[in-house]
Structure 1
Amino acid sequence: MSWKTANRSFYYAQAPEPDDPVLLPHETALLCIDVQNYGMVQSTDPDERARWEPFHTRMRETVIPNLRTMQTLFRRNGIDVIHARIACLLEDGRDRSLSQKLPGWNNLLMPTTSEASQIVPELAPKTGEIVVTKTTDSALTGTNLRLVLNNMGIRNLIVTGVYTDQCVSSTIRSLADESFFVILLEDCCAAGTDELHRRELEIINMIYCHVMSSDELIGLMGLS
């Protein structure tokens, strides 16, 4: 099954297959969202460690290797690689959005200088690449990324990162509302569980973005 028929929701079960998009290199960028050190730290609690092990396995064995390959191919072909990370500008986190302040798992207090807020070394930005810092889920809402993309003439975003059902999804919806064309690489992103990941792919596919694999995008763009 190809990207044209996979990950269909109820709403698009009978929709015709989409045409192949035209992704001109100077109008396209790879957007890497929130693949940061905090997400790779495993809990010292045995039960929590076991609960999160499938996520960490997917990150180590699938997401990070595939995303590293995509970054290399984009750079080699002269296509922009852009990074977004979540961090607070103030030490006490007062600048965070409400969703980042409420009690619970999303309550992330990570100043920009903290080790936890840094992008993982395997996917670290190269010299000259754009890095935006956000205090919201959406990389578009919480930064000047919209202005930057418009100034660069970027119309197509290849989106990757974590978490599929949170910051990735929020960014994709914001991009779609601003009339950017979005492709989500399903093997370059992850959610807390595979079920949440797959469910979100179905929800956003064909309305906010097109979901495909990294190999399908490589073939579509002729990257080598």
Structure 2
Amino acid sequence: MHSDPTAEEHIDPLRDVYFDSFVDTPGHREYMISGKTALLCIDLQYLDAKPGVGVFGPDQSSGVEPDAQAYYFGRLESTVLPNVRKLQDAFRSRELEVIHTRIQSLTRDGRDRGKGHKRLNLLAAPGSQEAEFLEEIAPDPSRDEIVINKTASGVFSSTNFHYVLKNLGIEALFIVGVYTNECVETTVRDACDLGYLVTVVEDCCATVTPELHEASLATLRDRYARVIAVDEAIAAVQHRQPNSVSAAAN
């Protein structure tokens, strides 16, 4: 039999080194048990995750074709939002941090926005509908969950998020949200470079085409992050047993 040359071309010669360092490491389990792992939910808000609002408003400023919008919002409704909520509930039940980021400027006119968001005319002003979280996965007010507002793709580069995580003692992140190939991917790369162990939950993320989603995951998988499905993620959260929660509280 002849080997497939295309398969050989796509072998990552550094896979084993990165896999041992970032994926197959006991740190994932240790940080979960010790409560040093947080769930980060990225930009699940009206601005970019609700049909008819924000970038998907009547003026069609998103530039995304109707069939791509149908795919994106269909995936959000059927897969991403239900899965994110399940994962949030799992983290909350184990007394682990659930943290939310959103695009929101400091000012009504957005003059403080990053240059990229200004060029894109991307604005979610304080108190606006665009800045609101989707109800299904919104922060739980009874738990005083942390919300980080940003005006760039990367939450680390545009906010004091790294400082906040260090104050919380967080060493590992489970990352979900939108878009896979933009804000999610940027945050994953930055988090890895800053020393966090990162897990991307693939069926809790979405972007406007399946090709972009898969391409982004392909560059992150086993290089910058562990990429798993929601059921495996929930099983990992369950490593933090109720007695761990009690011990941490005492």
Q: Classify the TM-score, shorter chain.
A: 0.7 to 0.9
Aligned residues of 1:81 and 1:130 also touching (Cα < 8 A): yes
**Higher Cα Rg, which structure:** 2
State whether residues 105 and 123 of structure 2, in contact with CA within 8 Å, keep that contact through their aligned partners in structure 1.
Answer: yes
Percent identity, aligned pairs only?
36
Q: Which residue of 1 aligns with 2:149?
A: 133
SS in 1 for 2:35: helix
Alignment-derived partner of residue 40 in structure 2: 31
Which amino acid in 1 is paired with 2:40?
Answer: L
Deviation at 1:24, TM superposition (A): 2.7
Where does residue 151 of structure 1 map in the other structure? 167
Q: Paired residue for 1:214?
A: 230
- 1:166 pairs with 2:182: yes
Aligned partners of 1:12 and 1:206 also within 8 Å: no
- Relative distance call for 1:14 and 1:108 in structure 2 (3 A) is closer
Q: How does 1:1-224 map to 2 (within 5 A)?
A: 10-11=11-12, 15=16, 18-19=23-24, 21-22=28-29, 23-38=32-47, 39-42=49-52, 43=56, 44=58, 48-102=65-119, 106-127=120-141, 128-222=144-238
Structure 1 position 11, deviation (Å): 2.4
Offset, 1:90: 1.6
Code of the residue aligned with 1:93 in structure 2: it is: G
Kindly tell me the number of residue pairs found equivalent between the two proteins. Answer: 213
AA aligned opposite 1:15: D
CA gap of 1:25–1:107, structure 2 versus 1, over 3 A, is farther
Segments of 5+ residues of structure 2 without an aligned counterpart are 1-9, 242-250
Listed one character per residue, the Cα deviations across residues 6-60 of structure 1 (whole Å, up to 9, x for unaligned) are xxx6426863765253233510000000000122124558994333100000000
The residue identity in structure 2 corresponding to 1:41 is P
Stretch moving more, 22-31 or 123-132: 22-31
Say which structure is richer in helix. 2
Superposition RMSD in Å: 2.2
| Cα distance, 1:108 vs structure 2 | 0.8
Which letter maps to 2:106?
Answer: L
- Secondary structure of 1:55's aligned partner: helix
TM-score when normalising by structure 1: 0.87
2:246 corresponds to: none
Q: Distance in 2 between matches of 1:48 and 1:30?
A: 32
Encode CA deviations 1:168-217: one digit per residue, 9 max, x unaligned.
Answer: 11111111111011000000010111110000001112221111111112
Say whether the 8 Å CA contact 2:155–2:187 is kept in structure 1.
yes
User: How far off its partner does 1:64 sit?
Assistant: 0.2
| Structure 2 Cα separation of the partners of residues 148 and 209 of structure 1 | 21
Asked whether the equivalents of residues 25 and 79 of structure 1 are also in contact (C-alpha less than 8 Å), the reply is: no
Equivalent residue of 2:100, what SS?
A: strand
Distance 1:114 1:12 in 2: 48
Q: Rate the CA distance shift 1:203–1:195 in 2: closer, same or farther, 3 A.
A: same
**Cα distance 1:218–1:101, how it changes in 2: closer, same or farther (>3 A)?**
same
Runs of 5+ unmatched residues, structure 1: 1-8
Are the aligned partners of 1:134 and 1:142 in contact in 2 as well (CA < 8 Å)?
Answer: yes
Per-residue CA deviation, residues 62-115 of structure 1 (Å, 9 max, x unaligned), is 00000000011110111110000011112222211121112xxx4311112111
What's the TM-score, normalizing by structure 2?
A: 0.79
What is the rounded CA distance, in whole Å, between the counterparts of 1:210 and 1:132 in structure 2?
24
